[in-house]
């Protein structure tokens, strides 16, 4: 499954970041996932939970921020959010608009909490 590899690399990246903070542990990973990225957020959630379960990362949470597709109109310079797969400019009706964003797949932020290994 495509999403399993993504969840795994996200966890890897998060762990590397966490290692820089020995007195904290990861609580939440926030991801930005564009609707054009080809990633299924539900599947990604599922894979993430499977990888975290029974690992030392438990109870790490995943939050997905989904990003709508944005297009830019070359005629009137309007940037707009695409709805219903309609790529025409809502302002002037220009049909040939340019892709701006919506295929992102990136770590937005990591939340950590204080943690003392060995403390009760």
Among candidate residues 35, 15, 6, 29, the one with its CA nearest the CA of residue 109: 29
Q: Judge whether 108 and 29 are in contact, CB under 8 Å.
A: no
The 8-class DSSP code of residue 9 comes to: H
91 touching Zn ion, by CB under 5 A:
yes
92 touching Zn ion, by CB under 5 A:
yes
Q: Which is nearer to Zn ion, 1 or 76 (CB)?
A: 76
44 touching Zn ion, by CB under 5 A:
no
SS3 string of 60-114? Answer: CEEEEEEECCEEECCCCCCEEECCCCCCCCCCCCCCCCEEEECCCEEEEEEEEEE
95 touching Zn ion, by CB under 5 A:
no
9 touching Zn ion, by CB under 5 A:
no
Name the residue with tokens 């770590």.
Answer: 107
The site map against Zn ion for 54-73 (x = CB under 5 A) is: -------------------x
Q: How far is the CB of 117 from Zn ion (least distance, A)?
A: 57
Q: How far is the CB of 102 from Zn ion (least distance, A)?
A: 18
89 touching Zn ion, by CB under 5 A:
yes
- List contacts with Zn ion (CB under 5 A): 73, 75-76, 78, 89, 91-92, 94
């Amino acid at each position: 499954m495509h999403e399993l590899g993504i969840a795994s690399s996200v966890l890897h990246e998060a762990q590397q970041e966490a290692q820089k903070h020995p007195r904290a542990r990861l609580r939440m990973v926030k991801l930005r996932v564009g609707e054009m990225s080809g990633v299924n957020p539900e599947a990604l959630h599922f894979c993430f939970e499977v990888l975290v379960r029974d690992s030392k990362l438990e109870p790490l949470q995943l939050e997905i921020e989904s990003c709508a597709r944005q297009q830019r109109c070359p005629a009137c310079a309007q940037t707009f959010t695409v709805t219903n797969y309609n790529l025409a400019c809502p302002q002037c009706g220009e049909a040939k608009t340019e892709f701006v964003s919506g295929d992102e797949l990136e770590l937005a932020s990591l939340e950590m909490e204080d943690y003392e290994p060995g403390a009760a």
